[in-house]
Amino acid sequence: MTHTLTTRLNDVDIEAVGALIGAIGADPDCASTTWRAEVTWKRAFRSEASIREFAPIPSDEPPALGGDDTAPNPVEQLLAAFGNCLAVGYAALATASDIAIHELSIALEGDLDLHPFLGLKAGHAGFHDIRAAVRLVSDAADAEIEELHDRVTTTSPVGHTLQAAVPVNVHLATK
């Protein structure tokens, strides 16, 4: 199917986003979606994620954690996923608000205690804190940028997932 783009801001296909909003407005059940990934172990601490028809996304650990440092590790990928989600939010909501973005970058870092992961003591094995510093360059008024920032940070699906207790069910199949 060929889609002709007639309206773009921030290089976002406004018609496609509008069509999705219209479809969900007409049938709210369309908003419930399921996303998938499949991960295959490749030896040692290397694995790769397959998502839709994209090239596999590799994962490894740095040498200090026993890996070969051939790819980002899972916690780095989680930070990247959050940053990518924020970037999508800025692009989508800025476009919907008729705000042109000239530059956008997001630096993320998180603090993690390796004791629980390594089995050295009980405790929280995940991030204790994640910080994101957003740099957004636009001609829009500061108040518009602040409002955009508030909307993005309160609607990020990855941000919400990180902040909420989400049920996680891991089932084991052997042989």
Mean pLDDT for all residues in the chain: 93
Q: What is the 3-state secondary structure (H, E, C) of 8-19?
A: EECCEEHHHHHH
Of the pLDDT bands very low, low, confident and very high (cuts 50, 70, 90), residue 2 is low
Query: For the residues 86-106, what does the mean pLDDT come to?
Result: 96
User: Residue 5: is its pLDDT beyond 50?
Assistant: no
Of the pLDDT bands very low, low, confident and very high (cuts 50, 70, 90), residue 14 is confident
Q: Which one is predicted more confidently, 122 or 9?
A: 122
Residue of 28, 32, 1, 10 whose CA lies nearest to 96: 10
| Amino acid, single-letter form, for residue 164 | A
Residue 166, SS3?
coil
Determine the structural domain holding residue 69 and report its residue range: 8-163
Q: Which one is predicted more confidently, 46 or 6?
A: 46
pLDDT, tens only, 117-170:
999 999 999 999 999 999 999 999 999 999 999 999 999 999 999 999 889 999
Structural domain includes residue 173: no
For 15, other C-beta atoms within 10 Å of its C-beta total: 14
Structural domain includes residue 168: no
pLDDT, tens only, 28-84:
999 999 999 999 999 999 999 999 999 999 999 999 999 999 999 999 999 999 999
Q: How far apart are CA 146 and CA 108, in angstroms?
A: 19
Structural domain includes residue 1: no
- Give 138-145 contacts, CB < 8 A, sequence gap 24+: 138/94, 138/99, 138/100, 138/101, 138/102, 139/100, 139/102, 140/94, 140/99, 140/100, 144/97, 144/99, 145/99
CATH number at residue 131: 3.30.300.20
Is the distance from CB of 136 to CB of 144 less than 8 angstroms? no
Longest pairwise C-alpha distance within the chain: 60
Structural domain includes residue 102: yes
Q: How many domains does the chain have?
A: 1
Structural domain includes residue 101: yes
Structural domain includes residue 174: no
